[in-house]
């Protein structure tokens, strides 16, 4: 038996969420059984746990799009008992039972070996948010963005993706501007590496098709009007790596930034990213982000605390990253 956060839905559509004792025989099919040590809370987990958006495709469901732990059983030659592994994405926590549990059974193809230089806890202090932030940085660098071209904007600066993106970009020599709705967190954002703060109210209201050229590039996890305004405010040849929709899935914008300033909108997907790109991103995270940055940007909670913190996350009341100790 093991403990898991289980989501159930009644015939009348009422969602329930509770820590429940389950048997290994109830786990879905997969080649590898993992003893989970840590999971995380991401925005998508918040949506699943609170039911604020229909991200869960079937019930009952164990949420948690991330986990890190140790292999207990494997029918795949790539993984042996005792191997330390992690997982991000692949629909886990949405269509396949996820990481907010003490056990998980998954496909071997979904796993990545623990990167050298990181502990299990540190990988979840990064989680999908940190891994996505690195994919965004890689996308900008792949488009030729360098510090000499000018400042880089990071939207949702207090969120998981935003906070890690600020830290990564600043340590690569970029001048980082961070957008946030919580100016009271200015000291924290500056400690991460932000040189300038931008009130999100400047970006989340309807704006002109072309605006003053401010940034050479951007990492956006917000979407909607914010992304439209970011595109309209990029310098000639600017690039924005778009990876989220915290404000909304819509994209109210015009073609003007793209055909008059040569702006590039680079979509970043973390869920289905191929294995080689995942390994590269995690290796770079291990090499480029100091442990002290993770420590001050992370708090740890227990499995039973996850529902309450998920609601806080959606309300914009959570700073940085949340690690879930599923055995705590």
The tens digit of pLDDT for each residue in 159-218 reads 889 999 999 999 999 999 999 988 888 898 999 999 999 999 999 999 999 999 999 999
pLDDT, tens only, 236-256:
999 999 999 989 999 999 999
Grade residue 295 by pLDDT with cuts at 50, 70 and 90.
Answer: confident
Residue 131: pLDDT over 90:
yes
Helix boundaries (H) for 101-149: 120-142
Supply 310's token pair: 């998920």
Supply 289's token pair: 């982000």
pTM (2 decimals)?
0.92
- Please tell me the predicted confidence (pLDDT) of residue 36: 98
- Please tell me the predicted confidence (pLDDT) of residue 316: 83
Find, among 28, 39, 29, the residue nearest to 5 by Cα.
Answer: 39
Percentage of the chain modeled with pLDDT above 70: 100
User: How far is residue 314's CA from residue 55's CA, in Å, rounded to a whole number?
Assistant: 14
- Using a 10 angstrom Cβ sphere, with 0-12 exposed, 13-18 middle and 19 or more buried, the burial of residue 258 is middle
CA 241 to centroid of chain Cα atoms: 14
DSSP state of 44: H
pLDDT, tens only, 107-116:
999 999 999 9
User: How far is residue 289's CA from residue 31's CA, in Å, rounded to a whole number?
Assistant: 32
Q: Is the dihedral of CA 278, 282, 288, 292 positive or negative?
A: positive
- Please tell me the predicted confidence (pLDDT) of residue 256: 97
Q: Across the chain, what does the average pLDDT equal?
A: 94
pLDDT, tens only, 309-321:
999 998 888 888 8
Mean pLDDT of 219-243: 97
């Amino acid at each position: 038996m093991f403990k898991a956060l289980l989501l159930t839905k009644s015939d009348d559509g009422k969602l329930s969420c509770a820590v429940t004792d389950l048997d290994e025989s109830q786990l879905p099919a997969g080649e590898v059984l993992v003893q989970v040590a840590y999971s995380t809370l991401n925005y998508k987990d918040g949506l699943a746990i609170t039911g604020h958006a229909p991200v869960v495709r079937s019930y009952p469901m164990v949420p948690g799009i991330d986990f890190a732990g140790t292999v207990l059983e494997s029918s795949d030659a790539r993984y042996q008992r005792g191997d330390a592994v992690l997982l991000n994405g692949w629909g886990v926590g949405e269509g396949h039972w996820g990481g907010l549990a003490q056990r998980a059974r998954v496909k071997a193809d979904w796993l990545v070996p623990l990167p050298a230089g990181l502990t299990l806890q540190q990988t979840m202090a990064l989680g999908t948010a940190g891994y996505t932030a690195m994919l965004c940085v890689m996308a900008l660098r792949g488009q030729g963005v360098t510090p000499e071209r000018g400042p880089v904007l990071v939207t949702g600066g207090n969120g998981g993706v935003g906070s890690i993106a600020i830290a990564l970009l600043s340590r690569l020599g970029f001048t980082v501007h961070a957008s946030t709705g919580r100016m009271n967190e200015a000291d924290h954002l500056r400690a991460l590496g932000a040189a300038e703060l931008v009130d999100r109210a400047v970006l989340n209201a309807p704006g002109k098709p072309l605006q003053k050229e401010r940034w050479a590039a951007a990492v956006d996890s917000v979407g909607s009007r914010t992304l439209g305004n970011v595109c309209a405010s990029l310098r000639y040849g600017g690039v924005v790596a778009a990876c989220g929709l915290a404000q909304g899935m819509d994209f109210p914008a015009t073609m003007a930034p793209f055909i008059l300033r040569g702006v590039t909108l680079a979509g970043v997907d973390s869920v289905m990213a191929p294995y080689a790109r995942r390994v590269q991103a995690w290796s770079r995270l291990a090499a480029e982000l100091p442990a002290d940055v993770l420590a001050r940007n992370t708090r740890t909670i227990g499995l039973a605390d996850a529902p309450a913190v998920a609601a806080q996350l959606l309300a914009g009341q959570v700073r940085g990253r949340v690690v879930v100790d599923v055995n705590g």
